[in-house]
Chain A
């Protein structure tokens, strides 16, 4: 499957989906004006990946800021990862800075709502 790559911008995250290299990562900042449009191709890609995923998928979120519009798109990504888990092993890692209780709360919320191995990883500054 083709790689999916988005460079980070001032308001949107860096995205690397590289099945061959085994890298799936969304990082930096996600506060786009139109989260729906931004995440549409992302969701489409994962939908397709779910058809024939790797044996193991390690999916990393390492976000600094997330607006509510993005948080709604991110839950859709995680729900799609549940789909991926039907055909392969999936592990989600949610990174947050130790001082960032908002990001920890959001991660904990996702962990509670989805049925996929989900690890909260605290990073010290």
Chain B
């Protein structure tokens, strides 16, 4: 079953990868939200935004940051409201940031109790009906009324999200059961300050497509989806997120080690983006049947296909003992002190993986291939 789910990822990876242009990205985190994870998600997003925005756009970067904070706080508030409820585990929250050309999209999703929908919806509708000037006034009114009953109960966060983005808030409710509904909220932030433009050119960042992506992540139980440019900085951020996310120390160490090798492999060998923000690639971390499945995809030149295949077949063809001996040999082989030429990385992945390394090549054009690699680590409770 786990094999099949891994295969599904191979099928969805390239279409997802393809829809992201150079210097664009989309990251989705799905799961439990707490202070530590929120902080790391913000850091990951913020450093990535900094890579692709000009210094003159410092205000923009701040606004996006602010909207992300509000969005993430929304999720944690809703999460707290249903504390101790198994429902949240079953329907975890999501946070998505997408950059599509000159627009950013911040989307959040979480469950809310059915009896809260009406008031939430009316707040959103009021906010969306107001002009920027009216919104400002409304904001001031609420502040001076001191009418902030419970956590952001007056919708201050929502008002601020709308104000900072200069846009209406897009939302959607998906009925789950007689108690809960899934609530999606999306904010669009144009990089220039054109006001009130809710239409998005890029189809893939629409709220509908975020919902679709979420569906896929639910089906495959993906906790982390990262599509865009990879560099050492975001690798470290991703690592920090995983460290906070997992509550199984033993497995976390292994997953972190595997992740470093897989992502540094992309960074080193993949094809860099036009302005060298990093190397384009896609990465998923999912869990199924008590296993953690790590999947990466990136572009390689045709000539690399055979070399990679040979190396992967080589490490897959050995027993763990044989591989361990081989590892010793290459560790001591200094003819080439460069680890990338010796296959140390693949050997290490295979030693740490609980299944043979899975891979696939999908031809893109007559020069390049999309190269997918998958590593599986058994979850150990400890």
Binding site for B on A (CB under 8 A): 10-11, 31-33, 35-36, 65, 67-69, 71-72, 75-76, 99-103, 109, 112-113, 125
Contact = CB atoms under 8 A, between A and B. Distances in A.
Given A10-B236, A69-B340, A99 B382 contact: yes
A31 B327 contact: no
A99 B328 contact: no
Interface in B243-269: 249-250, 253-254, 256-257, 260-261, 264, 267
Given A31-B236, A71-B331, A102-B253, 5 more contacts: A33-B267, A67-B257, A68-B261, A72-B342, A75-B332
A113 B250 contact: no
Contact of A31 (B250, B264, B339): B264
B338 interface: yes
Contact of A11 (B232, B340, B342): B232
A36 B344 CA distance: 14
A75 B334 CA distance: 10
B348 A68 contact: yes
A35 B338 CA distance: 9
Interface of B: 232, 236, 249-250, 253-254, 256-257, 260-261, 264, 267, 324, 327-328, 331-332, 334, 337-340, 342, 344-345, 347-348, 352, 382
A33 B250 CA distance: 25
Given A67-B264, A71-B344, A36 B327 contact: no
Contacts of B232: 11, 32-33
Contacts of A71: 331, 339, 344, 348
Contacts of A76: 334, 337
B264 A109 contact: no
Contacts of B327: 109
A35 B260 CA distance: 13
Q: Which of B253, B352, B382 has the most CB of A within 10 A?
A: B253
Nearest to A31: B260
Interface residues of B, dominant DSSP: helix
A75 B331 contact: yes
The 5 A-B pairs of least Cβ separation, nearest first, read A69-B339, A68-B344, A33-B232, A72-B339, A68-B348
B328 A109 contact: yes
B352 A112 contact: no
B224 to A, nearest CB: 18
A36 B339 CA distance: 9
A10 B232 CA distance: 10
Given A109-B327, A113-B332, A65 B256 contact: yes
A38 B254 CA distance: 24
Most-contacted residue by chain B among A31, A67, A112 (CB, 10 A): A31
A67 B382 contact: no
Contact of A102 (B254, B339, B340): B254
Nearest to B329: A113
A124 to B, nearest CB: 12
Contacts of B328: 109, 112-113
Contacts of B382: 99
Contacts of B352: 102
A12 to B, nearest CB: 10
Contact of B236 (A11, A36, A72): A11
A110 B286 CA distance: 33
A72 B344 contact: yes
Given A68-B261, A71-B344, A72-B331, A36 B249 contact: no
Contact of A69 (B254, B264, B332): B264
Contacts of B344: 68-69, 71-72
